[in-house]
Amino acid sequence: MSEEASTTTWSTGAGVVDSVNGLVDSLTAESEGEGVDVIDVALGGAGVVVDLVSTAANPLGSLASAGVGWLLEHVSFVREPLDALLGDPDEINANVDQLKTAALEMKLLAREHQEDVRGAEDWEGDAGDAFRAQMEQMAAEYEALGSTMDGTAAIYALSGALVCELRSLVFGWISDLLGELIAGALIAAASAVVTLGSSVAAFAGFAGTRAAMLATTMAGRLTRLGAAMARMGGRMAQLAEKMNGLIKGLERFAEHGGHAKTAYDAVTPYEMPPANA
């Protein structure tokens, strides 16, 4: 009979670690769910890497290339939501990487302190117990601090991905609209001679209406995005508050170290000054 795999991890029983991990998991899951409302699908996992439709993309340029540039005055405003969603994926990914690197450093520090605890297992008495308790607490707080940084990185990346995915969606909508309008514009232009230009005027009105309908849809998505970004910011603020609390707690170890150094200095004999030559 094979041995049953244990579900116990180092963080089990370490209240601060389990508490922070639970908060991070909850906030990250909520952030992933924002995509359903804004872009109609859930966002990817916390390991998402932000990508973006080229900021140089200009779907309206297809009107000029199709020879129906006169439509621009009726549909140019649909580009405004696209421009509002410009972003810098390289900067977003760089910031995410920086946060994850800092998180890893915290977790490595936690491991070092765990090893210190194991190295003092033979130290008996109250002093040894106190040392092990302090090291275990410090390791737990470093581990928790790393988790808050990982969570912040995840939510930051998800926020960037949400903006970029909505931009990609909007780009697709605009492209689809222009494909429809170009076909109609070419027909209207071809019929202009027979209809004395009325076909062009009629189609221009139709194009403006279709563009306005799409602009309204996109404005609604931007409103949802703004609300989602506010919630994302609130989640990162919760993690920042937790992070600040952990950092403040870790400061006590520096204070203890300072007190120990003062005591050591007090009992250390002064060095004799060098004899005069």
pLDDT digit string (tens) for 191-206?
Answer: 765 565 577 788 888 8
Beta-carbon neighbour count of residue 206 at 10 Å? 15
Q: Are 18 and 144 in contact (CB under 8 A)?
A: no
Q: Is the pLDDT of residue 172 over 60?
A: yes
Is 66-254 CATH 3.40.50?
A: no
The pTM is what?
Answer: 0.72
What tens digit of pLDDT does each residue of 13-33 get? 357 888 898 999 999 999 999
DSSP H helical ranges for 43-124: 61-65, 72-75, 79-84, 89-119
In the chain, what percentage of residues exceed pLDDT 70?
78
* Mean pLDDT for all residues in the chain: 77
What tens digit of pLDDT does each residue of 93-150 get? 888 888 888 888 888 888 887 777 777 777 777 777 777 777 788 888 888 989 999 9
Q: Is the pLDDT of residue 169 over 70?
A: yes
Q: Are 247 and 241 in contact (CB under 8 A)?
A: no
Q: What is the mean pLDDT of residues 204-209?
A: 88
Top pLDDT among 247 and 252 is at 247
Return the domain boundaries, the chain: 66-254
Top pLDDT among 259 and 40 is at 40
Let me know if 218 is exposed, middle or buried by CB neighbors in 10 A (0-12, 13-18, 19+). Answer: buried
Which DSSP helix (H) or strand (E) runs through 69? none
